[in-house]
Amino acid sequence: MTMNVLGYAAPSAKAALAPYQFERRDMRNDDVGIEILYCGICHSDLHEVNNDWDRNSIYPMVPGHEIIGRVVSVGPDVTRFKPGDQVGVGCMVDSCQNCAACKQGLEQYCEKGPTLTYDDKDRYDQMPTYGGYSEKIIVREKFVLRIPEGLDLKGVGPLLCAGITTWSPLRHWRVSEGSNVGVIGLGGLGHMALKLAKALGANVTLFSRSPGKEQDARSLGADNIVISTDGEQMAAVNNKFELIIDTVPYVHDLNPYLPSLSINGTLVLVGLLGNLEPTLNTVPLIMGRKSVAGSAIGGIAETQELLNFCGQHGITADVEVIKIQDVNEAYKRMFKSDVKYRFVIDMASLKS
Amino acid at 299: G
Q: Is 344 in the site for a copy of itself (CB under 8 A)?
A: no
Q: What is the dihedral of CA 304, 308, 313, 314, to 10 degrees?
A: 80
* Contact window for a copy of itself (CB under 8 A) among 43-51, 117-125, 187-195, 285-293: 285-293
SS3 assignment for 134-176: ECEEEEEHHHCEECCCCCCHHHCHHHHCHHHHHHHHHHHCCCC
Distance CA 324, CA 179 (A): 41
Q: Give yes or no for a contact between 62 and 130, defined as CB atoms under 8 angstroms apart.
A: yes
Q: Which of 231, 278, 326, 329 binds a copy of itself (CB under 8 A)?
A: 278
Residues found in the chain: 352
Q: Is 65 in the site for a copy of itself (CB under 8 A)?
A: no
Q: Is 277 in the site for a copy of itself (CB under 8 A)?
A: yes
* Closer residue to a copy of itself, CB minimum distance, 259 or 311: 259
Q: Is 289 in the site for a copy of itself (CB under 8 A)?
A: yes
**Nearest distance in Å: CB 169, a copy of itself:** 8
Site string for a copy of itself, 111-150 (x = CB under 8 A): x---------------------------------------
Q: Which of 18, 100, 127, 321 binds a copy of itself (CB under 8 A)?
A: 100
Q: Is 162 in the site for a copy of itself (CB under 8 A)?
A: no
Q: Is 266 in the site for a copy of itself (CB under 8 A)?
A: yes
Distance CA 34, CA 36 (A): 6
Q: Is 109 in the site for a copy of itself (CB under 8 A)?
A: yes
Amino acid at 138: I
Contact partners, residue 156, CB within 8 Å, separation at least 6: 38, 68, 88, 147, 307, 310, 316, 317
Q: Is 104 in the site for a copy of itself (CB under 8 A)?
A: yes
Distance CA 268, CA 245 (A): 5
Q: Is 295 in the site for a copy of itself (CB under 8 A)?
A: yes
- Beta strands 261-269 and 291-294 are parallel
Q: Which of 70, 227, 293, 325 binds a copy of itself (CB under 8 A)?
A: 293
Q: In the range 246-265, which residues lie near a copy of itself by CB under 8 A? A: 262-264
SS3 232: helix
Q: Is 281 in the site for a copy of itself (CB under 8 A)?
A: yes
**Nearest distance in Å: CB 323, a copy of itself:** 33
Question: Which residues in this chain contact a copy of itself in the complex, by CB under 8 A?
Answer: 100-101, 104, 106, 109, 111, 168, 172, 239, 262-264, 266, 269-270, 272-296
